[in-house]
Amino acid sequence: MTEFQDLKQLGGKAGLPASPDVAVLETVPNPHQETDYLIRFTSPEFTSICPVTGQPDFAHLVIDYVPEAVIVESKSLKLFLGSFRNHGAFHEDCTVMIGKRIVEVTEPKWLRIGGYWYPRGGIPIDVFWQTGKAPEGLWIPDQGVATYRGRG
């Protein structure tokens, strides 16, 4: 249990960080460093704020990554994503910022993030970013989020 003693958020009460800048992404050792495998996090109810109007924006995020030495501790990720609720940024900035922050903390072999944003001003905006080519032979399922089709 000593390898987890430095975790500050897991197993106890942890409030929502005031902003993404102060949110802490925690990691734990990758139990299968010798194996390339995919980890997927899905956040179907992601929320941020439009920096111009102050109105809420909503997205379905899908984060896929191949870990190296560490993996993201999921409660800290949940709190990090929740810290965007009162953060003003455009769709593109939020999506890429999240991907880059995970890369900064975990140094994965590969990461991609899909931000499937609900329409603002009648236009859905989908944002995709990845770090490079995925490891050879890795099974990468489709992200499973259909493009926005409105009411039809």
> Has 57 been annotated as catalytic?
yes
- pLDDT the model gives residue 3: 61
Task: Answer whether residue 54 shows pLDDT above 90.
Answer: yes
In tens, the pLDDT along 114-135 reads: 999 999 888 889 999 999 999 9
CATH number of 18-130: 3.30.1130.10
Q: Please give the span between the terminal C-alpha atoms of the chain, in angstroms, as a whole number.
A: 52
Contact 48/117 with Cβ under 8 angstroms? no
Give the C-alpha separation, 42 to 133, whole Å.
21
Give pTM, 2 decimals. Answer: 0.91
CA–CA separation, 60 and 144 (whole Å): 11
Which of 36, 50, 93, 126 is catalytic? The answer is: 50
Enumerate the β-bridge partners of residue 56.
Answer: 49
Predicted pLDDT at 148? 80
pLDDT of residue 64: 98
Whole-number pLDDT of residue 8: 64
DSSP string, 51-74: TTT--EEEEEEEEEEE-SSEEE-H
Across residues 29-34, what is the average pLDDT? 96
Contacts of 87 (CB under 8 A, 6+ apart): 19, 20, 48, 49, 94
Q: Which residues pair with 88 in a beta bridge?
A: 49
Does residue 103 register a pLDDT over 90? yes
Q: What is the pLDDT of residue 105?
A: 96
Amino acid, single-letter form, for residue 39: I
State residue 2's pLDDT score.
46
> Does the annotation count 50 as an active-site position?
yes
